[in-house]
Amino acid sequence: MDARDKKLATDLAYEIIKEVSRATRPYIGTPEAGEKVKMGADGTPTSLIDVISEEIVVNILKEAPVYSYLVSEEIGELRLGNGTKRSITLTQELRRDDLSEDEKPRFIFLVDPIDGTSNAIKEIPAFAISIAVASVPDGRVATLNDVELAFISNLANGNFFEAEKGKGCWLNNKRVKPSDEVKISNMTLGGFTKSGTSQASQLVDNARRMRVLGSVVLELSYVASGRYDAFLDLRGSRIIDISAAKLILEEAGGIITDKYGEKLNTTLSIYEKSIVVAANNEVLHKQMIDILNDNQTDFIGKIGIMGRIDQDRSTLFSAKIVDYLLTNGREVQIEKRLAQNIMELKQNPDLEKIIEKTKENYPEMGDMLDDINFNIDFEKMSKFLHDFDCDMAVILGGDGTLLRAESHMNPEIPVFGINMGTVGFLTDTEIQDTFIALDEVLRGDYYKEKRSRLVVSHENNHYSAINEVVIMTSKPAKMLHFQIKVDGEIIDEVRADGLIISTPSGSTAYAMSAGGPIMDPKVGGFIIIPICPYKLGARPFVVSDNSEIAVKLLKKGKSAVFVMDGQRNEEADYEEEIKFKKSDKDAYFIRTSTKYFYKKVKDKLGEGGVSNPNRCINE
């Protein structure tokens, strides 16, 4: 958007604000203003005062000498200009390639004619008009990053916020900036917290004061100008409401993201919403994100290490990590067999040749194997996995190694995985990024991801699984007959090669290969998947993780094997039930990025997880 277009868009915005203010003034505080006249395009009831305001917006842009797109709360999405008006779907319209230069719109206006309608009807002085102006991208959908101008006017008192991308933010022609508060306990917090989570309650309880004004656009602007320290909307704010306020806050120097701390770059559409977490600075914002996601980090002082013992590279790399951790003042525990391997390698006369060969075969390890300090009493630090008493366990290997470690350790010890296997979906980092990631973790820049476990009950015995339990015949090419119950109700009887009961973590493993859905680990559910069922209607079930699943073998004379996470096998006979419930103890993983899950899906599952050309085929 060049200077001429910005001037034109600004003039149109000023005119809209002036005329809406003039036209609505007589209706403020009157019963007539609140009369419900229709349903808006966003599915919410529309009051008379909303209709009056929006008609002004539409008429001004319709008679403008240029074409514009309008996204507005009540009327939806329009193409306006040069005396014309046409309903559109913006995401489709932006992909058109049949418009001449004269027909192409110059701007996308996102307008909430009155944000805080209920306040206006009751004459509570917190209602505003919000206008964001975005440039029109070429051949793609528009997002919040395309917004270049923002205008918010408090129609109750005339306070006027405006911002230009890359130029700053002003309130009544004076530059503004957020507060410098960094303590949650001193924070003034605004917004909407209806989420039913203890984390949201904790955030509100810890704040010094809480404000709920009923106007998202004003409250976000108050963070920009230092009146509030933070704001959140856990219901989900419409893009129309936050498009102008986001630019105003960011140009003032504040932070606005989703619940997980990711920047907002949502598509511009009448239908889009986003949870919003905004703060005056990065320090306060991170504290809010940590509380909302139950990610409050602790100092990691004691660290356990467990790794594959079938490869020299894992053993060498473990020794390197031990030295790194000791150098950084941490107490280290080493799994007993790994410690023995390190000691044996330390005494091997061909140690230097082994190191050089490993570097040659695994160039991604590069210089990390140089200068390994073997002058350490590794054996003194050795412990059995079930005796680990540490703040974090570093696991070197693939998903199988990690699951094996989890099955033997105290379940409350969080795990940090370094991928030295084929896929490594549950691991956090690749070899080459190990020490960058560990630096982040040791300085507290990490979060704990919580994942559900299964408790498996059979004949008064209890087992646990993180990924899945597979029930199958011990005889190849033989089918089993299953009865499946959920909370005591029979949901299916099926003949199949086997059955998988999977957690969300396991949805990207065997369950996915058997045709099950991929589930975000934050989803509270389990998946029941028949393996090669002899029944056309047999499909996977997703059930609540508050439910109890019971599986019974129905064919006399046949027994089954049930396998937990590929680690432990047990047998079940005819008419014996195997029961599955959510464990009271969750699994915890140390993560250095909030983009962990979907990034892993994209990176790891595109080609079966084999993405590293240097990785040996026999791994």
With bands split at pLDDT 50, 70 and 90, how would you rate the model's confidence at 616?
very low
CA distance 402 to 399: 5
Same domain, 131 and 168: yes
Residues 499 and 556 in one domain: yes
Mean pLDDT of 267-274: 89
Domain containing 26: what range?
Answer: 3-175
Checking if the pLDDT of 298 tops 90, the result is no
In a domain, 532, yes or no: yes
- CATH number of the domain at 383, please: 3.40.50
Q: How many domains does the chain have?
A: 3
pLDDT tens digits, 563-595: 999 989 999 998 899 999 999 999 999 988 777
Regarding whether 505 and 403 lie in a shared domain, the answer is: no
Query: pTM of the prediction?
Result: 0.62
Given 175, 192, 226, the domain boundary residue is 175
CA distance 265 to 268: 9
What is the maximum alpha-carbon separation in the chain? 93
- Indicate if 164 and 47 belong to the same structural domain: yes
Q: Flag whether pLDDT at 617 surpasses 70.
A: no
- 469 lies in some domain: yes
Strands 36-39 and 480-486: unpaired
Residue 408 lies in a domain: yes
CA end-to-end span of the chain:
53
The answer to whether position 219 is within a domain reads: no
Please indicate, yes or no, whether residues 25 and 158 belong to a single structural domain of this protein. Answer: yes
Cα(168)–Cα(68) distance, rounded to whole angstroms? 25
Q: Is residue 39 domain-shared with residue 7, that is, in the same domain?
A: yes
Say yes or no: 377 and 497 in one domain: no
Identify whether residues 401 and 533 lie together within a single domain. no
Q: What is the pLDDT of residues 535-555, one digit of tens each?
A: 888 899 999 999 999 999 998
Does some domain include residue 151? yes
Given pLDDT bands bounded at 50, 70 and 90, which one contains residue 612? very low
In 285-369 the beta strands, taken as DSSP E runs, fall at 302-307, 331-335
Name residue, tokens 């939806």. 76
Residue 367 has pLDDT above 60, yes or no: yes
Please report whether residue 109 resides in a domain: yes
Which residues are annotated as catalytic?
399
Q: Can you give 540-562 as a three-state secondary structure string?
A: CEEEECCCCEEEEECCCCCCEEE
By CB atoms closer than 10 A (0-12, 13-18, 19+), residue 160 is middle
Residue 257 lies in a domain: no
Q: Decide: helix, strand or coil at residue 36.
A: strand
Find out whether 164 and 55 touch, Cβ atoms under 8 Å: no
Q: What is the DSSP letter of 586?
A: -
Q: Do 145 and 127 reside in the same domain of the chain?
A: yes
DSSP 3-state of 289: helix
- Specify if 212 maps to a domain: no
Nearest to 246 by CA among 213, 278, 268, 205: 278
Q: Are residues 309 and 402 in the same domain?
A: yes
Of the candidates 384, 325, 146, the one whose C-alpha atom is nearest the C-alpha of residue 247 is: 146
Residue 457, beta-bridge partner list: 462, 579
